[in-house]
Structure 1
Amino acid sequence: MDSSSSFSPTCPPLPPLGFGAAAIGNLYQPVTEASARAAVTAAVTAGIRYLDTAPHYGFGLSESRLGAVLAELDPGEELLVSTKVGRVLVPVDAGASPMRHGFADAAPYEPVFDYSYDGVMRSYAESRRRLGRKRIDLLLAHDLGTATHGDDHTAHFRRFLDGGYRAMRELRDQGAVRAIGLGVNEWQVCLEAMGHADFDVVLLAGRYTLLEQTALDAFFPACAARGVRVIVGGPYNSGILVNGTRGAAPLYYNYEPAPAAIIDRVRRLEAACDRFDVPLAAAALQFPLAHPVVASVIPGMADAAQVAQTRALMDTVIPPELWQALRADGLLHPDAPVPTPNTTKAA
Structure 2
Amino acid sequence: MALDFGRLGFGAAAIGNLYRAIPDADARAVIDQAWAAGLRYFDTAPHYGFGLSEKRLGAALAEIDPHRRAIISTKVGRRLDPTLDADLSQARQGFVSPEPYESRFDYSYDAVMRSYEASRGRLRRDCIDILYVHDIGRFAHGDAHEARMREFLDGGFRAMEELRRTGAVRAIGLGVNETAVCEEILAHADIDLILLAGRYTLLEQAPLDSLLPLCAARGVRIILGGPFNSGILAQGVRHGGPVHYDYGDPPASIVDRVRRIEEQCDRFGVPLGAAALQFPLAHPVVASVIPGIGTTAHLRSAIAQMAQPVPAGFWLALRDEGLIDARAPVPAGMAA
Aligned partner of 2:112: which letter? V
Q: Does 1:82 align with 2:79?
A: no
Question: AA paired with 1:209?
Answer: T
**2:33 is matched with which residue?**
42
Q: Does 2:234 correspond to 1:242?
A: yes
Residue type of the alignment partner of 2:84: D
Post-superposition shift, 1:11? 5.0
Take 1:110 and 1:169, find their aligned partners in 2: how far apart are those partners? 27
Look up the match of 1:135. 127
Query: Which deviations, in whole Å up to 9, do the C-alpha atoms of 1:260-283 show, x marking residues without a partner?
Result: 211111101111101011100000
Q: Say if 1:40 and 1:66, in contact at 8 Å, map to a contact too.
A: yes
Partner of 2:304: 312
Report the counterpart of residue 324 of structure 1 in structure 2: 316
Correspondence for 2:63: 72
Deviations, residues 15-34 of structure 1 (Å, cap 9, x unaligned): 11100001111112221211
Tell me the amino acid that sits aligned with residue 207 of structure 1: R
- Give the share of equivalent positions with the same residue, in percent: 59
Greater CA drift, 239-248 or 65-74? 239-248
> Quick check: 2:199–2:207 contact (8 Å CA) kept in 1?
yes
- Residue pair 2:52, 2:97 contacting (<8 A) in 1 also: no
The CA deviation at 1:150 is 0.3
Aligned partner (choices 187, 204, 223) of residue 179 of structure 2? 187
**2:44 counterpart of 1:27:** no
* Contact kept in structure 2, 1:96 and 1:108, CA below 8 Å: no
Give the Cα–Cα distance (whole angstroms) in 2 for the partners of residues 74 and 13 of structure 1.
16
1:124–1:247 CA distance, 2 compared to 1 (3 A)? farther
Task: Give me the CA root mean square deviation.
Answer: 1.3
Q: How much does 1:194 deviate?
A: 0.5
Classify 1:268/1:64 alpha carbon distance in 2 versus 1 (closer, same or farther; 3 Å): same
State the shift of 1:14 in Å. Answer: 2.1
Aligned to 2:276: 284
Aligned to 1:4: none
Q: Is the 8 A contact 1:81 1:136 kept in 2?
A: yes
Partner Cα separation in structure 1 for residue 327 and residue 98 of structure 2: 42
CA shift, 1:89, in A, is 0.2
Q: Once structures 1 and 2 are overlaid, which stretch shifts more, 244-253 or 193-202?
A: 244-253
Query: Whole-Å Cα distance in 2 between the matches of residues 72 and 16 of structure 1?
Result: 24
The answer to whether the 8 Å contact 1:27/1:104 transfers is yes
SS at match of 2:73: strand
CA contact (8 A) 2:193 2:221 kept: yes
Please list every run of 5 or more consecutive structure 1 residues that lacks an aligned counterpart in the other structure: 1-9, 343-347
CA contact (8 A) 2:13 2:45 kept: yes
Specify the SS of the correspondent of 1:253: coil
Q: Report the Cα offset of residue 214 of structure 1.
A: 0.2
The question of whether the paired residues in 2 share the 8 Å contact of 1:128 and 1:136 is answered with: yes
- The 5 Å alignment of 1:20-169 reads 20-93=11-84, 95-96=86-87, 98-169=90-161
How far, CA to CA, are the matches of 1:163 and 1:53 in structure 2? Answer: 22
Question: For residues 51-83 of structure 1, what are the alpha-carbon distances to aligned partners after superposition, in whole Å with 9 as ceiling and x for unaligned?
Answer: 000011111111111111001111221110000
Query: How many residue pairs were aligned?
Result: 333
Q: Counterpart amino acid of 2:225? A: G
CA shift for structure 1 position 101: 1.4
Q: In 1, distance between residues paired with 2:3 and 2:118?
A: 23
Q: CA deviation at 1:102?
A: 1.4
2:191 to 199, 210, 214: 199
Unaligned 5+ runs, structure 2: none
Contact 1:11 1:200 in 2 (8 A): no
Structure 1: which amino acid aligns with 2:34? A
Deviations 1:268-311 (A, max 9, x none): 11111010111000000000000000000001111112111111
Q: What CA distance in whole angstroms lies between the structure 2 residues aligned with 1:111 and 1:247? A: 36
Which of 255, 260, 267 in structure 1 is aligned with 2:252? 260
How far apart, in 2, do the equivalents of 1:332 and 1:177 lie? 37
Partner Cα separation in structure 2 for residue 239 and residue 187 of structure 1: 20
- Structure 1 range deviating more: 83-92 or 95-104: 95-104
Question: Secondary structure of the residue that 1:103 maps to in structure 2?
Answer: coil
Task: Give the secondary-structure state (helix, strand or coil) at the position aligned to 2:80.
Answer: strand
TM-score w.r.t. length of structure 2: 0.97
Give 1:66's aligned amino acid.
Answer: L
